[in-house]
Amino acid sequence: MDHIYLDHAATTPMDPQVAEAMQPVMTTVFGNPSSVHRFGRKARQYLDEARRSMAKSIQADEKEIVFTSGGTEADNLALIGTSLANQAKGNHIITTAQEHHAVLDTAAYLEQLGFSVTYLSVDETGRINPDELKAALTPETILVSIMYVNNETGVIQPIEAAAEILSDHQAYFHTDAVQAFGLIDIDVNQTGIDLLSASSHKINGPKGVGFLYAADGIKLEARQHGGEQERQHRPGTENMAGVVGFQTAVELVMANKAERRGKYSQFREQFMERLTADGITYTVNGKLDDSIASIVNLSFPGTGVESLLTNFDLEGVAASSGSACTAGSIEPSHVLAAMYQDNDERIMNSIRFSFGSFNTTENVIEAADRVAKIVKRLTS
């Protein structure tokens, strides 16, 4: 049995062209980019070129890109770095109830440090209300962090509206764009985004590398100490092979963004149509019109997330949920819990399917048939 991967929001396979681009950086171009000699200068050229590519992908300037070890570090640096550096201006932060844990847990840490955090709610479709943001702002607010696309539901947040509200406020605007980057057109200047997190392994690049875009002039305290790298925002010798792999991944996704959007949209439609044709009852978490095409989160009434995922794996379908299994009990997804009332069964019977480079029409339809077979068995 071949295994079908429908979990591209968790991570993606590395593109062979990415692996190829990384090869020389691991062998011949091994210099330390901070060294002044020939070996170092060669590595520096690679690093500078990668930084230019990253900057271009979001219409930023190269000096505004800080390489990190991934999305989690970029989120931590954005939140902690700006909060610590701007305490004199206030101690209030605004984020949302359905952020990735890289933001939520960091916000909780900042609360421990004495910052006050407001968590905006989301409606049943998974979106924040910009009016709630407006009402939550105070003269003490120094940072607002709202994710671009939710990793569990694919729901796109009203980023332009939020940026517009913040345009005449002192608060910096950060967005975790880990799931949006590479699929949505992003122009940080036009939109008014001050800080943006991106991660390489979600776009067929290597794991363990990402970047934080921090607009010129942003006050940001480094999380590490020890060197001058990354304009002192992130000391430590850069992950050169990772950065070059990430660069190639970015160049590849930027070249065919529209084409991939169309392809994933078709996969999503074909997958859902096939489930319907197979006689399966399901509902969509979030609104498809406000969602990214590569992620769909479906609720299967009368089932449970644990038995669904175990059986999917046995049948060769890799998908996931936001629920975490801790010490034998299932912790509900905080994203779905933020969207629905406490006892709503959708919180406990929903699965995320995410499409990407591993997929074809054939394997998406085959996966739907396997999913349908399991759902029928569990509900009969």
Distances (CA, A) of 122 to 96, 97, 99, 337, 344: 8, 7, 11, 10, 15
Give whichever of 176 and 230 is closer to ligand PLP, judged by the CB atom: 176
Which residue from 83, 145, 153, 179 is in contact with ligand PLP, where contact means CB under 6 A? 179
Give whichever of 130 and 205 is closer to ligand PLP, judged by the CB atom: 205
Question: Which range of residues in 52-60, 175-183, 237-245, 278-286 is near ligand PLP by CB under 6 A?
Answer: 175-183
Burial per residue of 230-265, b for 16 or more beta-carbon CB atoms within 10 angstroms, e otherwise: beebbeeebbbbbbbbbbbbbbbbbeeeeebbebbe
CB of 156 to ligand PLP, least distance (A): 12
Binding map of ligand PLP across residues 95-134, x = CB under 6 A, - = no contact: -----x-x--------------------------------
| Packing angle, helices 16-26 and 240-255, rounded to 10 | 150
Give CA 275 to chain center in angstroms.
27
Which residue from 106, 151, 291, 321 is in contact with ligand PLP, where contact means CB under 6 A? 151
Of the CA atoms within 13 Å of residue 226, those in its CB half-sphere come to 7
Give whichever of 42 and 101 is closer to ligand PLP, judged by the CB atom: 101
The reply on whether position 7 binds ligand PLP by CB under 6 A is no
The reply on whether position 154 binds ligand PLP by CB under 6 A is no
Give whichever of 64 and 75 is closer to ligand PLP, judged by the CB atom: 75
On whether the CB atoms of residues 173 and 195 are closer than 8 A, the answer is: yes
The reply on whether position 146 binds ligand PLP by CB under 6 A is no
CB of 200 to ligand PLP, least distance (A): 7
Of the CA atoms within 13 Å of residue 313, those in its CB half-sphere come to 7
| The two structure tokens encoding residue 4 | 């079908």
Helix (H, G, I), strand (E, B) or coil at 160: helix
On whether the CB atoms of residues 347 and 336 are closer than 8 A, the answer is: yes
Give whichever of 81 and 90 is closer to ligand PLP, judged by the CB atom: 81
The reply on whether position 147 binds ligand PLP by CB under 6 A is yes
The reply on whether position 178 binds ligand PLP by CB under 6 A is yes
254: which residues sit within 8 A by CB, 6+ positions away? Answer: 56, 57, 182
Strands 283-284 and 295-299: antiparallel
Which residue from 81, 205, 206, 210 is in contact with ligand PLP, where contact means CB under 6 A? 210
C-alpha span between 264 and 292 (Å, rounded) = 9
CB of 139 to ligand PLP, least distance (A): 29
- How many chain residues interact with ligand PLP (CB under 6 A)? 14
Give whichever of 102 and 272 is closer to ligand PLP, judged by the CB atom: 102
Task: Examine the residue annotation and report whether 325 is marked as an active-site residue of this protein.
Answer: yes
CB of 178 to ligand PLP, least distance (A): 4
Which residue from 83, 175, 199, 320 is in contact with ligand PLP, where contact means CB under 6 A? 199
CB of 150 to ligand PLP, least distance (A): 7
CB of 375 to ligand PLP, least distance (A): 26
139: which residues sit within 8 A by CB, 6+ positions away? Answer: 90, 170
Interaction residues for ligand PLP, span 36-75 (CB under 6 A): 70-72, 75
What's the N-to-C CA distance of the chain in angstroms?
25
Active-site annotation holder among 134, 325, 362, 376? 325
On whether the CB atoms of residues 227 and 38 are closer than 8 A, the answer is: no
**Catalytic positions, written as ranges:** 325
Please give the residue ranges that form the binding site for ligand PLP (CB under 6 A).
70-72, 75, 100, 102, 147, 151, 176, 178-179, 199, 201, 210
